[in-house]
Amino acid sequence: MSKIGDIKVIAHRPVPDGFDIKTVSVTKKADGYYVTLSLDDKTVPTIKPDFNPDNIVGIDVGLIDFYVASDNTRIAAPKHLRKAERRLKSVQRRVSRRKKGSNRRRKAIQKLGRQHKKVADARKDFHFKTAKTLLDKYDVVAVEKLNIKGLVKTRLAKSINDAGWSQFVTILSNKAVNAGLKVIAINPNGTSQECSICGHKVKKLLSQRMHNCPICHASLCRDLNAAINIKNRGAHGLKAQSMSSYRSH
């Protein structure tokens, strides 16, 4: 490494032939230092998108579930992840009970770091599996755009999921690109209020779990209603994108 020189590492996999090392990054984690290499293989062709725009699903961040999809499937965080998260909380409490500067506190902090990593690893694994499940079934996944100014109340209430959600969307997007598929981010304004059948705006509190439309009399779970709206906006956005690329050619 520049300025440092040679460093001994534990190589988990060999660098395959024909690859150039592009970048090297070193990160410090609770259980040691990690080296990540990014490789460049010039023989790998860039993947052209090839998807059926009608094979689309919308997903909404759930309050209880990890997500609710427009096909009415729900994915809950797996048991082992929730268990690890609970353990993390208990280790956190232990740290705050220990006297500052004490040996016991230092040990508890070390344990906290390891538990943090366990949760992060379990969460990442869950995100990869969930992304695969979605992209095995669908060509296009519509999601809510993140980091929008003036977050709607629903999103704030769901903020427990948010840290994980943005990582999940990144993993999902990368996986989609590599498979020639598509993730489309839509404007989330009003997705939970709008009626997915007739478009009428039905105001509801967060505690109201059902969407009941006084106009078309649709009655369905509010998260499912939102997921269908996300899907519809995704389909609409996709059409707009293909029209503009048609015009520009």
Shortest Å, Cβ 189 to Zn ion: 18
Q: Is 220 in the site for Zn ion (CB under 5 A)?
A: no
Which residue type does 111 have? K
Q: Is 195 in the site for Zn ion (CB under 5 A)?
A: yes
Contact between 69 and 227 (Cβ < 8 Å): yes
CA distance 83 to 53: 38
CA distance 107 to 123: 25
Q: Is 215 in the site for Zn ion (CB under 5 A)?
A: yes
Tell me, residue by residue from 149 to 188, as one string, x for binding to Zn ion by CB under 5 A and - for no binding: ----------------------------------------
Candidate ranges 6-14, 17-25, 76-84, 199-207; the one touching Zn ion (CB under 5 A): 199-207
Nearer to Zn ion, 48 or 203 (CB): 203
CA distance 196 to 179: 30
Contact between 153 and 206 (Cβ < 8 Å): yes
Q: Is 201 in the site for Zn ion (CB under 5 A)?
A: no
CA distance 177 to 74: 24
Q: Is 198 in the site for Zn ion (CB under 5 A)?
A: yes
Task: Choose, by CB under 5 A, the member of 9, 37, 216, 243 that binds Zn ion.
Answer: 216
Candidate ranges 12-20, 166-174, 197-205, 219-227; the one touching Zn ion (CB under 5 A): 197-205
Q: Is 210 in the site for Zn ion (CB under 5 A)?
A: no
Query: What part of residues 113-152 is at the interface with Zn ion (CB under 5 A)?
Result: none
Nearer to Zn ion, 106 or 200 (CB): 200
Q: Is 228 in the site for Zn ion (CB under 5 A)?
A: no
Closest among 65, 63, 90 to 78, alpha carbons compared: 65
Candidate ranges 48-56, 108-116, 209-217, 227-235; the one touching Zn ion (CB under 5 A): 209-217
Tell me, residue by residue from 85 to 104, as one string, x for binding to Zn ion by CB under 5 A and - for no binding: --------------------
* Site of interaction with Zn ion (CB under 5 A): 195, 197-198, 200, 213, 215-216, 218
